[in-house]
């Protein structure tokens, strides 16, 4: 058993793809036309870290209720955790790509950590070895 996908509600597919592939270095796994339950067009967009098993479904907000949770899927808490082998290199690459970090890097018993925001405003932990 495994978790194959998690969804992130975003405002725009193309801006989200750009962020996840350029700024975070994820792979675009799929970008296919699809339809909503009532027949309106949408896209099935999946990104994934290189070598990762779990992908992220980029789900464009559809309607007021979904638009209200863009960037607030975890009510201000960190909701995603990106583990890297080389924290300093990943952090430097992300900063150079314009990723907004909301905490400075620090060392905790479980490793190096810094909190950053994704394209939607959700909080992520960038985690590396101690």
In CATH, what number does 5-128 get? 3.10.180.10
Q: Which of 26-40, 43-57, 105-119 has the lowest mean pLDDT?
A: 26-40
- pTM, whole model, 2 decimals? 0.92
Torsion of CA 103, 105, 106, 111, to 10 degrees: 120
pLDDT of the residue at 114: 98
Q: What pLDDT, in 10s, does the model give residues 34-88?
A: 888 888 889 999 999 999 999 999 999 999 999 999 999 999 999 999 999 999 9
d(CA 49, CA 38) in angstroms, rounded, equals 32
C-alpha torsion sign, points 110, 116, 119, 120: positive
């Amino acid at each position: 058993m495994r978790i194959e996908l998690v969804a992130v509600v975003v405002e725009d597919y193309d801006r989200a793809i750009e962020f996840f592939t350029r700024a975070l270095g994820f792979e675009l796994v799929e970008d296919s036309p699809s339809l909503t339950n009532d027949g309106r067009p949408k896209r099935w967009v999946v990104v994934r870290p290189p070598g990762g098993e779990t992908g992220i479904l980029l789900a464009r907000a559809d309607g007021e209720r979904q638009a209200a949770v863009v960037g607030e899927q975890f009510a201000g808490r960190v909701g995603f955790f990106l583990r890297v082998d080389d924290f300093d290199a990943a952090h430097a690459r992300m900063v150079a790509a314009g990723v907004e970090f909301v905490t400075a890097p620090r060392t905790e018993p479980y490793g190096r950590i810094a909190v950053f925001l994704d394209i939607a405003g959700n909080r992520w932990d960038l985690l590396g070895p101690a």
